[in-house]
Structures are given as structure tokens and as C-alpha cells.
Structure 1
Amino acid sequence: MTTEFFDSFDGTRLALHRIGSGQPFVLLHGLFSNADMNWIKWGHADTIAAAGYEVLMLDFRVHGQSEAPHDPAKYPENVLVRDVAALVDQLGLEDYVLGGFSLGARTSLHAVVQGILDPQRLVIGGMGTAGLGEWTKRSAHFLRVIDEFDTIERGDPAYFSMQFLKSQGVDRLAARMLLQTLPDLDLASLQNISMPTLVVCGDEDRDNGSAIELAELLPNASYSEIPGTHMSSVTKPDLGAAIADWLEKTA
């Protein structure tokens, strides 16, 4: 495993973690997490690399080892899509796989729908229709967590999210600006995604709505169900195994 840094389109310094060799697989983490927490710690990166891929794991801005700027100008709409595009351009990637979990999945779908990125295959983890078409409503939960951070008590529905932000050391000022850059996605636009796609989700994961419905809206998608909730499914080996198995079947 190696870690390096590069300057994104606006000069923000971002961290990139790499392991393996073979076809590049750009793999994106979830909201307020990072590459280590989602992909490295639980062995998923190792599993995918062992299947013959170079796994390229970005820490989004405001996450992990990447910068968290406080300048509002650093947060244009869909800034994370632009960061991933900057990475693909920096590395000169052409024949690559793109995917992610939760926020990483949203970002991947936005990038493909907008025609900014054109991966050979696509992996969408922990995401359903509501997490795409009703993101503005869902993001209000996280904005409340940030705004009421010091007053949220145990038993409050937002308590667990507050504890997770605290454990990850998230810069709340930067996070608030980032949350407001993420638009809703028109679900009808999913019909334009033609490449083979894996939708993988925990059997108890309802955080982002129906993953099955999402798979049905994608013209060339397969659905895989693994054990766990939104938070626990990413900690089980089944996630990496499901991705590696699908990659082998669609190679």
C-alpha cells in the first residue's frame, strides 16, 4: 500500500492510496469516512487487488488525509465529481473501473450521468433511489448534526451520526460547505448508464432507500445482497468478495 498526494482542479491537495497491479479501479469512500475506514481496514482493497486490479482509493476533500479548505470558493456544485475527474486526468486513465460506497456511489453515478467520466464498468455500493433523488432531504439530517453538534444527546436520532463525525475528526465548517455542493439526481437520467454495473447493498441497509429499485432503473445492472446495515455491511468481508466475484464474471 502506498499513499501519495496530488493537486486537484483548484489546487486542493488530495490523498491517493494505491495497492495492486492490473486494470485500474478507482474506488471511492462514503460520507465522513475515508479510504482506510471503508476499503483498507476491512480487507476489501486487498481482496480486489488479489483479483488482478490496481485499486486507486481517493480521500475526498474534507476527508481522511486530504485538505479541508475553508474558502467557500473551493466548494462549487458537484465538487467531488470534479475531484475524481482530476484524478482520472492526472493518471491518464482510460480503461478503468469506477465505483464506491454511499457518497462514493453517488459521486460515481453523477460523474457518469453527466458524461464527465466513462468507465468500462461501474460498482455502486450502499445506495438506493432515495439517496440519489432525495439527497437534499437526507443532507438536512447531516446539516443538523453539524449545527447542533454540541447539544445532541444520547437517544436523539442524530446521536450516532454525531459520534461518527467526532470519531473521524471531521472539520465541521468544511463539511457543511461540502454538503451543500451535492445536488439531487434525476432518476430518469439513470437510463443513460449503459456500462455493466454492480449494485451491492446490505440486507438491512435502508439508509438510502431501495437498492433493488436502483438496480432495476439501470439498463445493464446486476444486484448483489450482502449481510449488514449501512454501517456494518462495509465491515464484513462479503462486500469485497461480492465486488471481486462480479469483476471476475464481467472481465
Structure 2
Amino acid sequence: MSPVNTLNPHRLSEAVAEDGVPIAYEDLGHGEPLVLLHGVTESRESWHEAGYVEQFLRRGWRLILIDCRGHGRSGKPHDPAAYSGRRQAADVAAVLDFAGIQRAALMGHSMGGTVALATAAYHPDRVNALIVNGAHPFAEDLSRLRAALADDFETWLAFLKQLVPDLSPNSCRRIRANDLAAVQASLASDRPDFSMALAKLDIPALAITGLLDPRWEGVRNFAELASGEFLPLAGKNHVTAFLDAETIVPAVDEFLRRVGARTTEGS
């Protein structure tokens, strides 16, 4: 594997979604492709900062890090209809097309996990494994998130700092740099239940959650629904379960190799 400067935040390519929204992504390393999808108000840079990129590259994975629409360097529509599960799943498919990848493993945290699940539901032929952390396909009321982001990002940051008192300055910078109207549009609708679409699929799944995360039971229930595997992280909440790359990367690497997440690159 050739050396890659994973600290450079500007090694970007751009796909164009089916509705014309530009979707920024990084394509790093060589080997089997693994798509990484970040949480709400974050960007692909969060995977770099938490240590996932370096560790996965060292294990020989080709990483596709996507800035989800409304975030990072991707387009930021203000229309709530632009953030449906179908639209966001199509974004992932568009990136795979632009990168010349037919099938990939998908890994997402929180919102990114929901996008990964939607991609499996709408484009199952593009997904050969699913890893979700702090996400599930069941109905979810997002009114608490909408309230925290009603005026600016400061209430949201205060909430996050209750979970991670030493939230990094870089994370705070990324969050404050968001387009507030775009983030609000992405959360305007509660998440529907699309679990039955996933129950019919034969895609290996690994569901990860911190046991202090209020979503943990939903994550466990998804693992059971998908006949998948469940990795509970004791003493971790919704955010610290993402930050625990030292535990998660080896577990994900072992899972993907064991289930044979192999793909054919190219169209």
C-alpha cells in the first residue's frame, strides 16, 4: 500500500447526486472498499481525528469517506425533501459509481448509520456488509435534536459536551462551520420505520452501541432483526462509543474478513 497523508483535509473528489447536489468524498488506500458515513453536524474529518482512517489503512482497506449532504464540503440544500432516506441512499450509490466501485461494505455512526441502512434498503446490490454504530431502522422522534438546533449551534454543543466534556476544538470548529438551515432541514422530519425492508435482506450486519446510549435497545433489536452481530460497549454513550476506535476497528476488521466482505471493483 502506498503511503497516504491522511491528515490532509482537502484530498477531495466530488460526485453528483441524482438531484444535482454535489457530494464530496475522499478515496484513500487500496484493497477492499469500506465506506465511512459520519454523524449529524460532523464531517468525514471526524473519522480522521478519531483514528479510524489510519488504523483501517494499516489493515489494508480502501476507504471512501463521504461528506453527507448538508455537511462538510458537500452541497447543502435547505429543502427538507432533499434529505429523505432515498435521496441520501442515492448519494452513496452515486459516490460508488464515481469511484468505480460496484459493491462495498458500509459503516456509519448515528445519522451516517441511518444512511448506511437506507442504502442497503434502496440499493442492496451495492452493499455487501453493514456496520452501524448508534443507529437503527426503527421510527425515531427527532424533536429533541430539532430543539437543540433551533437557533444556533451553541445549545447543541452544550448537549454534546455533557456527553464528552473534553470535546475537541476541531470538532467544535466543524460543528460551528455548518450551514444551520441545511442541518435543520435534514432533521425536519422524524425518521420513519423501514425495518421490514432490511429484515428481508441477506446482508451481514454488525450493530455497535454504547450501553449508555438511549438508542441501545433499538440497535440490539436491529441486530436480532437482521440476524446480525451485536457489539455492546459498556460505559460508553452515543458519542464516546464512536470515539472508541481502538476497540471498534479491530472488531470491524475481524467481522468483515470473517463474513467475506469481498467485492468486485469496476462497473
Q: TM-score, normalised by structure 2?
A: 0.78
1:192-240 Cα deviation digits (max 9, x unpaired): 1211111122232224643222111113x11122352111111122122
- Distance in 1, matches of 2:220 and 2:77, equals 37
Residue matched to 1:32: 41
Percent identical among aligned pairs is 21
Q: Residue 14 of structure 2: which of 5, 17, 33 is its match?
A: 5
Counterpart for residue 160 of structure 1: 159
Q: Which amino acid aligns with 2:139?
A: E
> For residues 136-215 of structure 1, what are the structure 2 equivalents within 5 Å?
137=141, 139-149=142-152, 159-161=158-160, 167=173, 168-169=175-176, 170-180=178-188, 183-207=191-215, 209-215=217-223
Query: For 1:224, which of 208, 231, 242 is the aligned residue?
Result: 231
Greater Cα shift, 234-243 or 7-16? 7-16
Provide closer, same or farther for how the CA distance between residues 15 and 248 of structure 1 changes in structure 2, counting only shifts above 3 A: same
1:107 aligns with 2:115: yes
- The aligned residue for residue 68 of structure 1 is 76
CA root-mean-square deviation: 2.8
- For residues 44-92 of structure 1, give each alpha carbon's deviation from its aligned partner in whole angstroms, at most 9, with x where no partner exists: 122222222101010112212223234x387153222121121122223
Shift of 1:103: 1.0
Cα distance between partner residues in 2 of 1:41 and 1:76: 26
Structure 2 residue identity aligned to 1:195: I
Structure 1, 16-25 or 239-248: larger mean CA deviation: 239-248
TM-score, L = length of structure 1: 0.83
CA distance in 2, matches of 1:185, 1:211: 13
Structure 1 residues 50 and 33: alpha-carbon distance in aligned structure 2, compared to 1, 3 A threshold: same
1:229–1:11 Cα change, 3 Å: same
3-state SS of paired residue (1:175): helix
- 1:106/1:196 Cα in 2 relative to 1: closer, same or farther (>3 Å)? same
Amino acid at match of 1:52: G
* 1:109 Cα deviation after fit: 1.1
Q: Does 1:16 align with 2:25?
A: yes
Q: Distance in 2 between matches of 1:151 and 1:35?
A: 21
Deviations 1:4-41 (A, max 9, x none): 2333223322221232210111111111111111x111
Alignment equivalent of 1:47, drawn from 51, 55, 67: 55
1:82 pairs with one of 90, 95, 119: 90
Query: In structure 1, what residue type is equivalent to 2:239?
Result: M
Distance 1:43 1:194, change over 3 A: same
> CA–CA distance in 1 between the matches of 2:80 and 2:138?
26
Matched-pair contact (CA < 8 Å) for 2:12–2:26: yes
Residues 6, 115 of structure 1: alpha-carbon distance in 2 compared, 3 angstrom cutoff = closer
| Structure 1 runs not aligned, ≥5 long | none
Asked whether the equivalents of residues 51 and 248 of structure 1 are also in contact (C-alpha less than 8 Å), the reply is no
Q: CA 1:193/1:116 → structure 2, altered by over 3 Å: closer, same or farther?
A: closer
Name the CA distance, whole Å, in 2 between partners of 1:73 and 1:229.
28
SS of the residue aligned with 1:212?
helix
Q: Contact (CA 8 Å) 2:209, 2:219: kept in 1 or not?
A: yes
Given that residues 157 and 172 in structure 2 are in contact (C-alpha distance below 8 angstroms), is that contact kept between their aligned partners in structure 1? Answer: no
Matched residues in 2 for 1:195 and 1:115: separation?
Answer: 12
Cα pair 1:35 1:64 within 8 Å, conserved = yes
Query: Alignment partner for residue 58 of structure 1, among 63, 66, 87?
Result: 66
Q: 2:252 aligns with which of 209, 224, 243?
A: 243
